Structure 1
Amino acid sequence: MDDRNDLLPEIRDPCPVADPFPHRHVGERDVHAVAPVLGPFLDAMPAAFCLLDEDWRFRYLNEAAERLLQRSRAVLHATSMWDAFPGMRGGVFEASYRSAVASGEPVTFEAAHPGTGHGSFEVRAWPGPGGVAVYLLDVTDRRRAQDTARQVVERAALLAEVRAELAIAQDTESALARLARLVVPTLADGCIVTVVDREGRVHDIGSWHADPGRRPLMEQYAQVRLDTLPSASPVARALDAGTPVTESVAAVLDLMVPGPARDLLVRLGPSSATVLPLTADERTVGVLTLYQDAGRTVPAEDLATARQVASAAARAIARVHRQSQQALLAEALQRSLLTEPPDLGSTAVCARYVPAAEAAQVGGDWYDAFLQRGGDPVVVIGDVVGHDTEAAAAMGQLRGLLRGIAHYSGAGPAEVLRGLDEAIADMHTDTLATAAIARFERTGDGEPGWGRVRWANAGHPPPMLVAPDGAVQVLGGPDGDLLLGVDPGSIRAEPVVAVEPGSTLFLYTDGLIERRDRTIDDGMDRLAGLLRALAGGPLEEMCDAVLARMLPATPQDDVALVAVRLSAGPG
């Protein structure tokens, strides 16, 4: 058996083993002639090669096969492959070999050879009349190179997706919450995203796990973990020091007190946790917690990618903080230009202003309510075209101009709008605005209350008059007359409508009724239905309910409204 050619007679034995190179015209003498050459040739092959007879016994192995199987051919000769390597039963090797013998067709597949300690192999099996010839080529390096290339592509795609998601998202906090889904499973088996708000409060805003069965556990854990994590935990240390922390989960469990958070972490079963701080503007604005199951390690390339993800997330959080601060300043500026409505005695006036959710969107929406020189109440709603500081500045000036013109002149709504239009043409030539103005009047001398309303509209959404019984009257068409800033000589209508005590006049800007997913007519119909249902209730509650039901959670436009409810007594 020590001679490498000792087993070659088995090759030319017509039964039970097939000739690996079958040529029916080759004679017995020719086979004897090639046998001394064939043995050294097969042993010189870089791939493992062996012959199995019809009972799956080894009949020949070359030297590469001996090295692969880590046993000599003397030991394996005439031994059943299934007995020598029981780990091959029931797997891809047995299924493929038996398929080749049953079909008579060669098979090719890639797999890790069980029990050899080697990597991946390309396996080819050729069936013959008396058994099967098997060829195994080590493709571990090729597979490793393919896996490396695939991981490089996955990491690059992940970074591109994260940056795009955080850059274009209108709701940045929601995008940050989805960040956990992006990094799993490329960088971790589980992930929790944590942010620190401007007041220093820490919140877990998103979680995900590669195992769908553990996602509910991860979500529950994210809801309770921050309440119980000790100061020595990796999350606390990363938040305090601003440096990455990697720790075994067993060590974290030793720090935690008994309770729901500890029980959930045990059930989740991760092996280790890596916490990366999200640092921007020299402060830690959050952390990214990556959980790894047992058997998974974090290579340096994955860790570098995770740090880049953390850096992108930190910039997004810092942007939210800056926008939040700018939004507060913008809202303060806007509100400083909107005075409280006057006291009209028993006639109730309610005004509301809601800024856009996205920060720094200083708008041109305004409202006003005042008494003219003759004592008649006037209410105004307006909107300067644009969403920037110029629009806000123009809004403040137009509001002051309109109030001054109306108070000094004592003119009706149409004449007041004409005077404002001329002022715009002379002093604010690049400004466009819409406005609706209404004046409450007595029906005759000595009348105790306001019995009619006179109004004019310059391109603004039409006011709505709500009767005490809930009937809603839309004052004018959906567009009104020409907006301000286009033609100061435009002739404006000035209708008059009778009102009964207890009626409510409701004026609003377009942000209340406009949505991307519906028409303005749909928005107006919905508003009219709400006013109809809310008629008769307190005016403040009516305005608050309209805003709550009409506006989305994150308004995309400023909204201003002013409502007046008439009483039976004098103003």
Structure 2
Amino acid sequence: MDEQEARQREGIGPPPDADLGRFLQTMPAAFCFLDKRWNLHYVNAEAERLLGRSWSELAGQSLWEAVPELVGSDVETHYRTAVATGRPLTFEAAHPGVGGWFEIRAWPTPDGLAVYLLDVTDRRDAEEAARRATARTALLARVSAELSGQLDTLSALARLAQLVVPVLADACIVTLVDREGHARDVGSWHGDPARRPVMDRYAQLRLATLPGTSPVAQALAAGTPVTESVDAVLRVMPEGPARDLLVELSPATAVVLPLTADARTVGVLTLYQDADRVMRAEDTDTAWQVAAEAARAIARVHRHSQQAQLAETLQRSLLTEPPAVDGLAVVVRYVPAAEAARVGGDWYDAFLQRDDALMVVIGDVVGHDTAAAAAMGQLRGLLRGIAHYSGAGPAEVLRGLDDAVVGMHDDTLATAAIVRFEQDGQGGPRLRWANAGHPPPIVVAADGGITVLGSELGDLMLGVDPTAVRAESVVALPPGTTVLLHTDGLIERRDSSLDDGTRTLLGHLRELAGRPLEELCDGLLRRMLRGIPQDDVALVAVRCAGAHPAGAGTQPPGRLTTPATGHPRR
């Protein structure tokens, strides 16, 4: 009597059909039949192989006894749903207690449940490999797009950690080394939202506490990659908040790749892997490509920093102190841009014409580089010479400068606003002004009333048409009046319009109108910039003596000059 006949005699197994029995026993898919009590009523040879036990060991056992890992699993939920609804179900799942992925079909019958399992692990692995390859390709494209631009490279480097998670790691920290050799973590990210705040705090503390034997320190010092278990890192870390945070993050492995450019280590990329992640060779290759892209971006930041220092030095050398003028207080401010690539053509100037009238200029050469800074210096010198020799008013000075720009610097475009402080027929102060495409001057009365002079942009900018007619206007200046000139860096924001920026500026001016002149200017910069500006900012404020609250920035005649002070790079 063979095994099939023995099963039939015991009342266990399929109907006594020899062909059907042979088919079930030889089919490449696992098949089993469960009675209404979830007892194993039949298993074929493939099911025996998957379960690792023979039929004699499995006969009469419940499914939950034979495979206890199924209890509470999604597979159990599907089986019970099929029985409860009387409807067949087909689904894919990683089968607990067996390993691998299976296409599972469950058919409920009046006598129990028939289950068919086909191993699809190879197909799932192939699909997963293709998905990961696509994700790696997309990652490289996005990293290249983010880091290849010339603007805001530091912010892109900070976002790099977010890009590589979860494609290459469960968490990441990006470290940059500046030209003075100081390392700082500029970006971090964790794939688990609950652990991101912990990762952020750890990134703020770790460099100050990691010993010289840590993977990060080794990669920075030797410029070689280091892979180490986090348990080993914890053993060399001193007790303290940073170590506690790393324990809370609970990664299994740290992979540290040096970022090398111009034969020096300019940063490191730290990839943290949880215990259930395996970093494959293709993942490592992609990580190296990301590291190379990041290193090139950091090298660009260093080069731009050098250019910025040169441009800023040139720019500051041309921003001289204003002259002393009886009856007027003058305050000037200059703040360079945060981004190296944007340092360039903003300038101010204040000087006396032949008749001792004070002329104040604010301007901006189109462009953000050393060429713009150089052009700014040439235009500033030309304007001074034209204004001093001619003794003309603002409109005529702009016309002469426009003619010189087109004739001598035909590839230069610039904006400028000029104001001239003079006396009217009765000896009272007045302001004569003209504007070539620049943000308009603003007049602030002693009581806080505000007047914006002219239209939003004024006349045509310089360098376009030297025959353009320049308008000139005159406005009286009551005692205590403040005149403010500024470049567009003060009001320009990437996330809002110039109109929005101007409205914000006017609101702050109303609140600060009664302050001493230096306090007014510094308050405007703090409120408007909120840190380091996206573009250069030049600012000039002139206040007429008298009719201002005590301490509001006026001084006795002859002592009204406020020295020019530029804000250092923050």
TM bucket, shorter chain: 0.7 to 0.9
The equivalences for 1:53-64 within 5 A come to: 53-64=35-46
Provide, for residues 338-389 of structure 1, a one-character-per-residue CA deviation record: whole Å limited to 9, x for no partner.
Answer: 3332233663222223333332335333221111222222212223344455
- The 1:119–1:423 alpha-carbon spacing in structure 2 relative to 1, beyond 3 Å, is closer
Q: State the one-letter code of the partner of 1:455.
A: W
Q: 1:569 aligns with which of 557, 565, 568?
A: 557
1:518 CA drift (Å)? 4.3
1:439 CA drift (Å)? 2.2
Once residues 132 and 211 of structure 2 are traced to their aligned partners in structure 1, the CA distance between those partners, rounded to angstroms, is 35
- The 1:388–1:252 alpha-carbon spacing in structure 2 relative to 1, beyond 3 Å, is closer
In structure 1, what is the equivalent of residue 551 of structure 2?
none
Once residues 111 and 349 of structure 2 are traced to their aligned partners in structure 1, the CA distance between those partners, rounded to angstroms, is 100
1:463 CA drift (Å)? 1.5
In structure 1, what is the equivalent of residue 220 of structure 2?
239
Moved more, 50-59 or 244-253: 50-59
SS state at 1:178 partner: helix
Q: Is the 8 A contact 2:8 2:14 kept in 1?
A: no
SS state at 1:258 partner: coil
- The 1:444–1:124 alpha-carbon spacing in structure 2 relative to 1, beyond 3 Å, is closer
Q: 1:471 aligns with which of 449, 465, 476?
A: 449
Pair 1:498-2:479 in alignment? no
SS state at 1:537 partner: coil
In structure 1, what is the equivalent of residue 430 of structure 2?
452
In structure 1, what is the equivalent of residue 358 of structure 2?
377
The equivalences for 1:313-332 within 5 A come to: 313-332=294-313
In structure 1, what is the equivalent of residue 70 of structure 2?
88
In structure 2, what is the equivalent of residue 24 of structure 1?
none
In structure 2, what is the equivalent of residue 533 of structure 1?
511
- The 1:480–1:188 alpha-carbon spacing in structure 2 relative to 1, beyond 3 Å, is closer
In structure 2, what is the equivalent of residue 68 of structure 1?
50
SS state at 2:331 partner: strand
Q: Is the 8 A contact 1:452 1:497 kept in 2?
A: yes
Q: 1:225 aligns with which of 200, 206, 223?
A: 206
SS state at 1:330 partner: helix
Once residues 136 and 61 of structure 2 are traced to their aligned partners in structure 1, the CA distance between those partners, rounded to angstroms, is 47
Q: State the one-letter code of the partner of 2:418.
A: I
Q: 2:489 aligns with which of 511, 533, 544?
A: 511
The equivalences for 1:92-491 within 5 A come to: 92-116=74-98, 118-168=99-149, 170-344=151-325, 347-443=328-424, 451-491=429-469
In structure 2, what is the equivalent of residue 6 of structure 1?
5
1:245 CA drift (Å)? 1.0
1:521 CA drift (Å)? 4.1
Q: State the one-letter code of the partner of 1:6.
A: E
Q: Is the 8 A contact 2:32 2:114 kept in 1?
A: yes
- The 1:90–1:542 alpha-carbon spacing in structure 2 relative to 1, beyond 3 Å, is closer
SS state at 2:341 partner: coil
Q: Is the 8 A contact 1:193 1:205 kept in 2?
A: yes
Moved more, 145-154 or 484-493: 484-493
Once residues 155 and 426 of structure 1 are traced to their aligned partners in structure 2, the CA distance between those partners, rounded to angstroms, is 54
Larger radius of gyration: 1
Once residues 94 and 343 of structure 2 are traced to their aligned partners in structure 1, the CA distance between those partners, rounded to angstroms, is 63
Q: State the one-letter code of the partner of 1:340.
A: E
SS state at 2:224 partner: coil
Tell me: higher relative CO, structure 1 or 2? Use CA pairs within 8 A at least 6 residues apart. Answer: 2
SS state at 1:6 partner: helix
Once residues 17 and 44 of structure 1 are traced to their aligned partners in structure 2, the CA distance between those partners, rounded to angstroms, is 15
Give the TM-score normalised by the residue count of structure 1: 0.87
Provide, for residues 447-487 of structure 1, a one-character-per-residue CA deviation record: whole Å limited to 9, x for no partner.
Answer: 6xx62232233333322222333333333333334443444
Once residues 362 and 242 of structure 2 are traced to their aligned partners in structure 1, the CA distance between those partners, rounded to angstroms, is 53
Once residues 431 and 112 of structure 1 are traced to their aligned partners in structure 2, the CA distance between those partners, rounded to angstroms, is 68
Q: Is the 8 A contact 1:7 1:60 kept in 2?
A: no
1:239 CA drift (Å)? 0.7
Q: Is the 8 A contact 1:362 1:389 kept in 2?
A: yes
1:309 CA drift (Å)? 2.0
Once residues 421 and 337 of structure 2 are traced to their aligned partners in structure 1, the CA distance between those partners, rounded to angstroms, is 31
Once residues 443 and 238 of structure 1 are traced to their aligned partners in structure 2, the CA distance between those partners, rounded to angstroms, is 72
Once residues 318 and 199 of structure 2 are traced to their aligned partners in structure 1, the CA distance between those partners, rounded to angstroms, is 48
Count of matched residue positions in the alignment of Structure 1 and Structure 2: 549
Q: Identity percentage over the alignment?
A: 66
1:430 CA drift (Å)? 4.5
Give the TM-score normalised by the residue count of structure 2: 0.87
- The 1:409–1:81 alpha-carbon spacing in structure 2 relative to 1, beyond 3 Å, is closer
Once residues 21 and 373 of structure 2 are traced to their aligned partners in structure 1, the CA distance between those partners, rounded to angstroms, is 92
Q: State the one-letter code of the partner of 1:352.
A: R
Moved more, 316-325 or 96-105: 96-105
